[in-house]
A and B are shown apart, each in its own frame.
Chain A
Amino acid sequence: MHPLRHPRNAIFVGLLFVTIGAIYWGVQYVAGWEVDYAGVTLLVLLGVAMAVMAYVLIAGSPND
């Protein structure tokens, strides 16, 4: 199996969105604005959902 196709790598897809959520939170926090936790929550949990989807796509694909 190619290393990139290991199902474990699905976590990186999720981390991408979690990172965007963290930046979204960080910018508001540093700027002193009222933090939009609704948006942060949606971005972080979108990362979880995306990671599961990526896992399904990678693990569900045949290697032959």
Chain B
Amino acid sequence: MTTESHALTTTDHSPVAGLSHDTSGGISNVVLGMLLFLTSEVMFFAGLFAAYFAVRAKTELWPPLNPETGGQFHLEILPLVGPATFILILSSLTCQMAVWAIRRGDHVAFVRNIAVTFLIGVTFLVMQAIDYVELGAEGLTMASGPYGTTYFTLTGFHGAHVFGGVVMLGVVLYRGMAGQFSARHHDAVEATSLYWHFVDVVWILLFSLLYLLPGKGHI
């Protein structure tokens, strides 16, 4: 082991050696830590998804009736959630383009793509906040029984993770603009990218579950 931030590795290879499957083996401490963190996060969301299915299984009518209108609750994909999903998927692409840019030492493209990813993350959070306000106006709140509780718990925890990712992207953007990353030293960029892709995948699963999965016991 060396005095650099690499565990179980030699001094002369990429900080993402493990990801690129180099011949000397090893993986950077930062990427290692992020992967272990993401492993725990997978099971965290697994618990939330399982709770959603457990609650849904015990309910005859899903989505249930809205006591204010008498009709069933209905989650609209347009005009907010669908576009928000699209831009979040797009942000994974821009984030990965930033990683590819810094790997080849292209600082301009790196900063540009990270900045776009950061802005998309902020936009997603704003759209989610607007969606929450609109749902509240329609009578769907945390207090709307198991449906409201599971919806806001799932999307709320995801939103909290997006916020965390935006903070990470902000730090990476700031450090990138300060010239602290190079083609050889950019562990934080790789780790942040992994996290952002994870958040994106979780949203795709959430979107499929909440918006695309047919309800049961329709009236």
Contact = CB atoms under 8 A, between A and B. Distances in A.
Interface in A16-54: 34, 36-39, 41-42, 45-46, 48-49, 52-53
Nearest to B19: A59
Given A7-B18, A59-B19, A62-B8, A41 B35 contact: no
A64 B53 CA distance: 47
Quick one: which of A37, A39, A59 has the most chain B CB within 10 A? A59
Contacts of A56: 18, 27, 32, 35-36, 39
A64 to B, nearest CB: 7
Dominant SS among interface residues on chain A: helix
Nearest to A63: B25
A37 to B, nearest CB: 4
B38 interface: yes
A6 to B, nearest CB: 7
A4 interface: no
A26 to B, nearest CB: 17
Nearest to B56: A37
B190 to A, nearest CB: 13
A64 B24 contact: yes
B51 A61 contact: no
